[in-house]
Amino acid sequence: MDTEIVSLAAESLSNAERHAVVLLHPVCVNRDIWRLQVPVWSQSFRLILVDLPGHGLSKALGGQPTLADFARGLALTLDRTGIGQVSLVGVSLGAMVAQAFALQFPERIRKLVLANAGAVTPEPVMQIWGARQRSYVELGSEQHVRSTIERWFDQDYRERAPLTVNWVESLVRSTSQEGYFEAVDAIKRLDHASRLREISAPTLVIAGEKDAAVSPEICRKLADAIPAARLTILPAGHLSNIEAATEFAEVVGQFLLAD
């Protein structure tokens, strides 16, 4: 079955004349994951919040889509909105899609922010993702939700911020099995490492010092491989834009505003 590239559900906030910044969320959630940053960034940027395929209000693509297909869907969405050059801010899956977009459409990139992601999925990690898919089928969606939350947030944060964790949990629960599996299959085929030198845009790589899913060392390798990249490590786990929301908003916002 061929993959049909379709435009994605998105909302545009703030003045259309401002620097356009596209926000790309992690797997299993949707554009609402950016609500802690929107009030801060909307003062300075035109924000485009996107639901990636199979998440939020965007339908799954079908077939066996790749991250490049996700990026083409984003390009189509921007075309239909009349937006040319953009900066991309992505966390986890969103950062992988941002890499794919920058490699396919380099002329459309002003700046990149790549948080909590690497550039390749090694074979052992592919096996882990496959095991998560099997667990979803065998044990059900609630076990999937619990294990995802435990992987993203350590016990200390879950105890300190139960209401925030419950909110993120509700976003995970809202994502369909089809959307999750489609994204996971794309993640398993992530392989951008050999092409990162082609990315010429100024790039900020963000790591979470407590990230159990993507270590700071993986993020450091990503930053080292992109010519115009630098690394910032925040006091957070895998969702750095949630656990270190203020720090994330400031470091990203200041990077995007800088000449």
Domains of the chain listed by start with CATH number: 10-257 (3.40.50.1820)
CB-based contact 211:237 (threshold 8 Å): yes
CB-based contact 5:58 (threshold 8 Å): no
Q: What type of residue is 31? A: R
**CB burial of residue 162 (10 Å; 0-12, 13-18, 19+):** exposed
Q: What are the DSSP calls for 215-241, one per residue?
A: -HHHHHHHHHHSTTEEEEEES-SS-HH
Average pLDDT, the chain: 96
Catalytic residue ranges: 92
Two tokens, residue 224: 């080292």
pLDDT per residue as tens, the chain (259 positions): 456 567 899 999 877 789 999 999 999 999 999 999 999 999 999 999 999 999 999 999 988 899 999 999 999 999 998 999 999 999 999 999 999 999 999 999 999 999 999 999 999 999 999 999 999 999 999 999 999 999 999 999 999 999 999 999 999 999 999 999 999 999 999 999 999 999 999 999 999 999 999 999 999 999 999 999 999 999 999 999 999 999 999 999 999 999 8
**CB burial of residue 154 (10 Å; 0-12, 13-18, 19+):** middle
Terminal-to-terminal C-alpha distance of the chain: 45
